[in-house]
Amino acid sequence: MASRKKQLKAARQALSEKQTKIAEDSDEDVDSLKNRLFKAVQQTQLLEQQLADQEKVCADLQNDFDASQDLINTLRAEILSLKSKNSDTYHQLRMERQRCKRATSKHGSITSQILLLKKANAMASARLSKGLRDSAATITKLLETNNNLRTELSQSVTTWTSQTEALTEAAKFKLMSSDIRLKKAQKEVSKLRKGFRQATQVKERAVETAKAKAISQKSVHHLMHKGVFTEETRNLVRFLSKSGCSANHINEIINSVLNTAGIAMVGSISRTSVARIIREGYFAAQIQLGHEMKMAESMTFSADGTGHRSINYNSRHTHMLVEDYGSLGSGKTHATRFLGIKPSRDGSSKEAIADWQTIITEILDLYSRSPFGKRSGGSLIGLVDILVKLTGMNTDHSALCKGEKRCI
């Protein structure tokens, strides 16, 4: 019994030790599992954070991609617009070159005609002067010959009276020869006088013919030269249109005015041509305005707005020191240039500034792309260059107004 109790006690002790060992091993396994689970949770959170960051980067990239697509579409539209404007500008350049070539040809032909007339006048004057000198010399010779003949005649008469009848026949023969020579001299004098009168008449007829030709040319007005309207015709059309004449009646008005002045009109001008000439004048005015803005040292802007049927209209001007085109020298004068009347979406200052920027940018862009702007040299002028020269602005907006309200 005692041995059995010892064995049972030993078994119980062994069992408790085994259970203790198993508990310790299980405790170690649980701790390791907890550690691994904690590390797994941390790694999962780290991966979730990285995934959120990557999703944010992906969203930013998607937004950048959409913005790039919008920019590409905008640039494509601008490229198409610039191509169209480049085609129009190239066409205008060709037309301007053709006009310049025709003007140069016309100037050369007129110059050659003037030189021919001067040369003909000089030749006629030289011939007339030479004829006068030759006539004077011939008359002098004839007078000397006549005096000599008279002397010889008197000597012959004296000899005839003093000598014998044998010498009478010789004296008569000499007298007859003297008469023949005198008649020949008189005929030559008459011929020279007729030639002098004819030369004078030829010169007078040539002058009258030239005057009649000039008068006939002045009594006819050609609207076109070699199929192209002349610059005088274009200026007249723009003046009549500016005065309020309808494009449908400009041709009739020009014809009536020329007929009243006794001048015949050659050619006609249609409403389409009138519209094209006015459009060309607008582009020329814009190029001139861009050049004046580039050359001006300072300038001021002014604007005034009004409303009509719930639509805002703004009239804009610029004032600067420009070249005096009417003076012969290089003087300058103050001038106010009209920038146009355009509608705006509202009366806010922000919209007004955007309209100013659009108008000035269009003027500078047209001037920079024009042949005159390219020949002027220097770098391209931009909006910043104009804003640097701006010294003042007069508008019906005030910085003290609250809530972008219109201030009067």
Closest CA to 120 of 233, 58, 7, 209: 209
Per-residue model confidence (pLDDT) at position 323: 85
Q: Answer whether 200's CB lies under 8 Å from 192's CB.
A: no
Residue 268 in 3-state DSSP? Answer: coil
Range picked from 7-16, 189-198, 209-218, 235-244 for highest mean pLDDT: 235-244
Range picked from 30-39, 80-89, 392-401 for highest mean pLDDT: 80-89
pLDDT at 33 over 80: no
Q: Could you report the per-residue pLDDT of 351-394, keeping only the tens digit for each?
A: 778 888 888 888 888 888 888 888 876 556 777 888 888 888 88
Cα–Cα distance measured from residue 141 to residue 133, given in angstroms and rounded to the nearest whole number: 12
pLDDT at 278 over 50: yes
Closest CA to 273 of 238, 226, 225, 221: 238
Q: How many helices (H) and strands (E) does the chain have?
A: 8, 8
Pairing of strands 311-323, 332-344: antiparallel
Closest CA to 300 of 327, 315, 319, 278: 319
The alpha carbons of the chain give a radius of gyration, in whole angstroms, of 54
Q: Could you report the per-residue pLDDT of 208-265, keeping only the tens digit for each?
A: 877 777 666 667 778 888 888 888 888 888 888 888 888 888 888 888 888 888 788 8
Between the alpha carbon of residue 113 and those of residues 121, 203, 208, 322, 407, the distances in Å are 12, 18, 16, 38, 66
At 16, list the tokens: 């408790």
How would residue 46 be classed by pLDDT, with cut points 50, 70 and 90?
A: confident
Residue 239, strand partner residues: none
Average pLDDT, the chain: 80
What does the DSSP assignment read for 268-291?
A: ---HHHHHHHHHHHHHHHHHHHHH
Q: Could you report the per-residue pLDDT of 96-113, keeping only the tens digit for each?
A: 888 888 888 888 888 888
pLDDT at 29 over 70: no
Residue 330 in 3-state DSSP? Answer: coil
At 50, list the tokens: 């990285």
Name the amino acid, one letter, at 119: K
Cα–Cα distance measured from residue 213 to residue 211, given in angstroms and rounded to the nearest whole number: 5
Q: Answer whether 352's CB lies under 8 Å from 380's CB.
A: no
324 vs 401, residue with greater confidence: 324
Per-residue model confidence (pLDDT) at position 1: 54
Q: Could you report the per-residue pLDDT of 304-347, keeping only the tens digit for each?
A: 888 888 788 888 899 998 888 777 667 888 889 888 888 877 76
CB atoms within 10 A of CB 241: 17
Sign of the alpha-carbon torsion through 10, 15, 20, 22: positive
Cα–Cα distance measured from residue 229 to residue 277, given in angstroms and rounded to the nearest whole number: 9
- The sheet with strand 311-323 has its strands ordered as 332-344, 311-323, 299-308, 390-394
Per-residue model confidence (pLDDT) at position 319: 93
How would residue 406 be classed by pLDDT, with cut points 50, 70 and 90?
A: very low
Q: Answer whether 301's CB lies under 8 Å from 317's CB.
A: yes
pLDDT at 408 over 60: no
Closest CA to 192 of 138, 146, 145, 140: 138
Taking the model in full, what pTM does it have? Answer: 0.44
Per-residue model confidence (pLDDT) at position 8: 64
Q: Could you report the per-residue pLDDT of 127-154, keeping only the tens digit for each?
A: 888 878 888 888 888 888 888 888 887 7
